[in-house]
């Protein structure tokens, strides 16, 4: 009987190995056959299409088409992205120390790093870059900006800008330097008289964990630290190793931080905290929002699953996928999703199931169901949909008008104009009533057409009027309604005056005192941070959220 069982087992093993070998052979055959077909199609179209084809661009469009069938994090990276890869890993790049973005389809300086060439030589937030060397810039070639702006330290780049309030263009000859972007963009005691240490972590390059440690030790020389707020809001993530290193500073040695599984779900790599934490016994609150993604979610998920601290704010972004960068040539790479990560309790926080959105996957069912998991102290947490906070607190405005003003960058633009046309810029010395009235006048003068949902409906109705769909009586009543709506908008600005001034305070402070000025101004209006400080000030409140009160 035992011999028979043994023989059956051997036969089954041989069949499985044979099946696996056959499956791999089939895959390799399909790859070879598909490459052959693709090559023939590419060659025929490139040589025989009625209009001349650029072979390189045509191939790139084919690569992009393939990758579009996958998740948005699997991308082809050409020479214009190579410096970005170096920055992702080291946090350093050769540049002028300015953050550039699109504002109203114009290439605009949105932030400056203190101490580097752009800030030293007088470039301002809000300046519009129209030319780099001899290359004119607009929204069409914005994606190639790194090719023009970044370069070897010690080289010069000519930047031509337009500045509101100045008639002539201004040309800056800026020296490229090795710019080091800090992960910890602010740290200090908040409130200043308290023993609560606040760390704003904005990225996860290789130095992130060491920066947290250094900042913690520096604050501890000033006074004893009783509690910590780790701010991960708006942090889009970065390197897996950096997330592990940051979590290492707060979790107990030996705790699981994250698990990563590739295509073979039986092959799971677990990462553990391997050093004694610098802040292992200090009460901790981690702030998250919908902009907290990837590495931020790894840290927040580990803190939550081990009941190490309270997660406060809003649900995180929901990116539970891991990427590797694979070099293809000396100037090109492929960033490819190679794994999924799981928090210590075993949950995936991935929100979107990309498998269901494409036909290229063999099994499109995925596994993004909302399932129940348990923390170390048996609290219930759920998979899917990002990291859910233990305490939900919003910083978002209740006013759609205020949200629209933010989305359209109108506070940013007003602050730029104000900074360029006024001498008195210290917020505490400003007449806040006057600046509020100036802001309202600015909106009317510039005719921004602030758009809400109701405005969109009205625009559609106007088109119907233009088509003669309604009589004059209805048209008259519509005009009255539209006029009343504009009046209500003005009244709404008055009603939310405190929020308007809060946004102006942050933007103007950023012009006068840089990133630190913006952060410190935001403390005055930060509902989430205020709530965190209140909870940390009450030991019972803190422990009750973590369901630990009965164990003390």
Q: Taking Cα atoms as reference points, which of 552, 532, 542 lies closest to residue 307?
A: 542
Catalytic option among 231, 245, 283, 305: 305
Sequence-ordered strand ranges (E) for 181-275 = 184-189, 196-201, 227-231, 256-261, 268-272
Rounded Cα distance between 132 and 130, Å, is 7
SS3 assignment, position 277 = coil
Concerning whether 540 is annotated as a catalytic residue, the answer is: no
Do 289 and 360 touch, CB atoms closer than 8 A? Answer: no
Do 546 and 377 touch, CB atoms closer than 8 A? Answer: yes
Q: What sign for the dihedral angle of Cα 303, 209, 272, 539?
A: negative
Concerning whether 305 is annotated as a catalytic residue, the answer is: yes
Partnered with residue 162 across adjacent β-strands are 128
Concerning whether 127 is annotated as a catalytic residue, the answer is: no
Catalytic option among 202, 227, 292, 294: 294
Do 527 and 521 touch, CB atoms closer than 8 A? Answer: no
Catalytic option among 182, 319, 335, 506: 319
Triad 285, 206, 297: Cα angle to 5°: 35
The pairs formed by 75-78 with CB atoms below 8 angstroms and a separation of 24 or more are 75/334, 75/335, 76/332, 76/333, 76/334, 77/325, 77/332, 77/333, 77/334, 77/335, 78/331, 78/332
Q: Which residue has the tokens 């902009």?
A: 291
**Residues involved in catalysis:** 294, 305, 319
């Amino acid at each position: 009987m035992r011999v028979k069982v043994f023989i059956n087992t051997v036969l089954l093993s041989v069949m499985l190995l044979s099946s696996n070998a056959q499956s791999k052979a089939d895959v390799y055959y399909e790859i070879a056959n598909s490459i052959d077909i693709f090559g023939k199609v590419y060659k025929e179209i490139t040589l025989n299409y009625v209009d001349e084809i650029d072979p390189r661009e045509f191939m790139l469009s084919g690569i992009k088409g393939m990758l579009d069938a996958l998740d948005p994090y699997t991308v082809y990276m050409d020479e214009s992205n190579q410096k970005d890869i170096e920055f992702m890993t080291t946090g350093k790049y050769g540049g002028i120390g300015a953050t550039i973005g699109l504002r109203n389809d114009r290439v605009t300086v949105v932030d400056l790093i203190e101490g580097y060439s752009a800030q030293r030589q007088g470039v301002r937030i809000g300046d519009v870059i129209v030319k780099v060397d001899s290359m004119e810039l607009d929204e069409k070639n914005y994606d190639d900006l790194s090719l023009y702006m970044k370069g070897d330290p010690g080289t010069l780049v000519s930047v031509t800008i337009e500045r509101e309030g100045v008639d002539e263009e201004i040309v800056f000859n800026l020296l490229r330097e090795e710019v080091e972007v800090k992960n910890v963009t602010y740290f200090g005691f908040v409130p200043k008289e308290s023993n609560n240490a606040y760390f704003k972590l904005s990225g996860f390059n290789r130095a992130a964990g060491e920066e947290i440690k250094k900042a913690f030790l520096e604050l501890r020389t000033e006074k004893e630290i009783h509690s910590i707020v780790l701010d991960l809001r708006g942090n889009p993530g970065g390197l897996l190793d950096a997330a592990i290193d940051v979590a290492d500073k707060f979790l107990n040695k030996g705790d699981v931080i994250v698990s990563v599984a590739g295509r073979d779900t039986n092959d799971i790599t677990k990462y553990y905290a391997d050093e004694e934490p610098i802040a292992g016994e200090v009460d901790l609150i981690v702030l998250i929002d919908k902009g907290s993604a990837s590495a931020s979610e790894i840290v927040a998920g580990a803190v939550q699953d081990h009941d190490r601290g309270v997660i406060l704010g809003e649900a995180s972004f929901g990116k539970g996928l891991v990427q590797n960068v694979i070099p293809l040539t000396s100037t090109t790479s492929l960033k490819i999703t190679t794994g999924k990560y799981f928090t210590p309790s075993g949950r995936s926080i991935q929100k979107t199931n990309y498998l269901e959105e494409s036909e290229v996957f063999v099994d499109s069912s995925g596994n993004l169901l909302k399932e129940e998991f348990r923390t170390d102290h048996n609290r219930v947490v759920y998979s899917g949909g990002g990291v859910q906070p233990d305490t939900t607190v919003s910083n978002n405005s209740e006013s759609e008008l205020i949200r629209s003003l933010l989305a359209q960058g109108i506070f940013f633009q007003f602050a730029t104009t104000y900074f360029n046309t006024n001498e008195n810029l210290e917020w505490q010395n400003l007449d806040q009533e006057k600046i509020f009235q100036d802001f309202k006048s600015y909106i009317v003068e510039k005719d921004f057409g602030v758009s809400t949902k109701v405005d969109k409906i009205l625009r559609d109705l106007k088109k119907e009027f233009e088509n003669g769909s309604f009589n004059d009586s209805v048209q008259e009543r519509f005009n009255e309604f539209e006029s009343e709506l504009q009046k209500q908008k003005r009244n709404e600005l008055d009603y939310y005056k405190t929020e308007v001034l809060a946004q102006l305070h942050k933007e103007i402070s950023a012009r006068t005192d840089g990133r630190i000025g913006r952060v410190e101004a935001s403390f005055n209006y930060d509902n989430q941070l205020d709530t965190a400080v209140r909870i940390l000030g009450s030991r019972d409140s803190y422990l009750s959220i973590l369901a630990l009160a009965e164990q003390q």
